[in-house]
Amino acid sequence: MNSSPILVDVFIAAFLLKADSPMAKRPLEFSCQACGAVYARWQGRCDACGEWSTIVEEAASAPLPGGGTIAKQARKGRILRLESLVGTVDRAPRIACGMGEFDRVTGGGFVTGSVILLGGDPGIGKSTLLMQVTAALANEGHRVVYISGEEATDQVRLRAERLGLSKAPVELAAETNIETIVATLSEGAVPRLVIIDSIQTMWSETIPSAPGTVTQVRGAAQALIHFAKKSGAAIILVGHVTKDGQIAGPRVVEHMVDAVASFEGDGALNFRILRTTKNRFGPTDEIGVFEMTSLGLAEVTNPSALFLQGRDLDAVGTAVFAGIEGNRPVLIEFQALVAPSSLGNPRRTVVGWDPSRLSTVLAVLETHGGLKLGAYDIYLNVAGGLKINEPAADTAAAAAIISSMSQTPLPPDRVFMGEICLTGALRPISQAATRLKEAGKLGFSSAVLPKAGLDATANGVVSLHAVANISDLIATIIGRKPGKQRLETE
């Protein structure tokens, strides 16, 4: 009985020696494949993002060589003064690829050492766009490397031949090992642009996890970002998207990169939209518009004319919105259909706009405008498939709904803009003069906009119809003020 404490001490010492040995098995951790949250044990639902069945078992990160801590092994760094760096960089701060719409989205070209994460639905044209960008940049004499983790080099070559770009001096590789990729890129001249298609297929030998897991994606992205910052090469990481349109993988990758762009579009339509949601070196929410043709993607320099093409000028329930996407004014058509409903809960269907914003506009139209909308199905669509996020579209959406309900066509040469408040008032909008100038270029002669701040927008390009609240908007469309009784269609 007296030897029990001694045996316990021997057992503990042996366990500690085994844990410190190089052959010791690494502890396990459980990480969410949607957001990257780490847990000590498995559970069905992630507390961080709320997703179910996304937590998988992975090995913990490898310990530092020698068993030391980060503080013990850290090397002393250098701190430089900002003024000492002025004029020391001999390379160009940006490299334009030659495609105007792509350079617009990036802020004027690729910043040396920057990393861009590009996402998009399968088959939307991401590989086509990147092939055209790499070919344009390579034809200017820059070294460009296209690394595919999903296709063989012959498959990439076939795509280039179909686009007529097979003679472009683009370097191709089919590889998924991140150490091999970094070592290969470090040889010879520094590439100006590197395409990684896709980041979910990359894996590292130092990470004991399957490709596509959170640990592998994060480690591969970190290695590529380190190479970009050290060498000055610009890198584009292609990311898969989930069924709701979000870039798959851990959101931490979006915070690591310098810019996040999405390639959007409807498969039934020919045009595509490249949109930035994050850009450290340029404006956010900037868009580039392309049209899919038999020879690849063609740039659309006047997207307003494209979105308004084929518009029915005499149709009821249509209103043209003068919007701003990034720094570019864009005119888009809102289409609304108000139909009697036979259901207890009428339908509210929205395409290209925020459904909660539609609910707010409908509540204001009922409360402050006197429209009885509770017995109608309402369908709202942004023509062309463009997604609108700015509040200035409230007035155009409301005008389309009022026009459809009252069967009153709106003037075909009139645009609408303005944010609707919960009180029924219309608030002024930003860059109104730019919107009006774009409308005048396309032949629109009148505009309905909020009365507040009207003096700052008067430029003589188009005639202005100022409205102070939702009642004035209804009166402008149907020709009379809403009374105390709720309006109904005749």
Count Cβ neighbours within 10 Å for each residue of 106-140 and write b for 16 or more, e otherwise: bbebbbbbbbbbbbbbeebbbbbbbbbbbbbbbbe
The owner of tokens 């001490």 is 9
Q: What is the pLDDT of residues 410-446, one digit of tens each?
A: 999 999 999 999 999 999 898 898 899 999 999 999 9
Residues 142 and 237 reside in one and the same domain: yes
Domain boundary among 14, 41, 61: 61
Domain boundary among 258, 276, 301: 301
DSSP category for residue 9? H
Helices and strands per DSSP (H, E), number in the chain: 13, 23
For residues 77 and 410, which has the higher predicted lDDT (pLDDT)? 410
User: For position 364, what pLDDT does the model report?
Assistant: 96
Q: What is the pLDDT of residues 190-220, one digit of tens each?
A: 999 999 998 989 999 988 888 888 888 889 9
Tell me how far apart the alpha carbons of residues 113 and 194 are, in angstroms, rounded to a whole number.
11
The strand pairing partners of 110, in sequence order, are 95
Q: What is the pLDDT of residues 138-189, one digit of tens each?
A: 999 999 999 999 999 999 999 999 999 999 999 999 999 999 999 999 998 9
The residues, any chain, with a CB within 8 Å of residue 234's CB and separated by 6 or more, are: 95, 110, 111, 112, 113, 114, 115, 116, 192, 193, 194, 228
**CATH number (domain holding residue 344):** 3.30.230.10
Examine residue 15 and state whether it is found in any structural domain, yes or no: no
Domain that holds residue 36: 27-61
The strand pairing partners of 199, in sequence order, are none
Residues 243 and 138 reside in one and the same domain: yes
Q: Would the pTM count as exceeding 0.75?
A: yes
Examine residue 234 and state whether it is found in any structural domain, yes or no: yes
Residues 128 and 205 reside in one and the same domain: yes
Q: What is the pLDDT of residues 383-407, one digit of tens each?
A: 887 889 899 999 999 999 999 999 9
Domain boundary among 42, 61, 80: 61
Residues 255 and 389 reside in one and the same domain: no
Q: What is the pLDDT of residues 33-51, one digit of tens each?
A: 777 788 888 999 988 888 8
Q: Across the chain, what does the average pLDDT equal?
A: 84
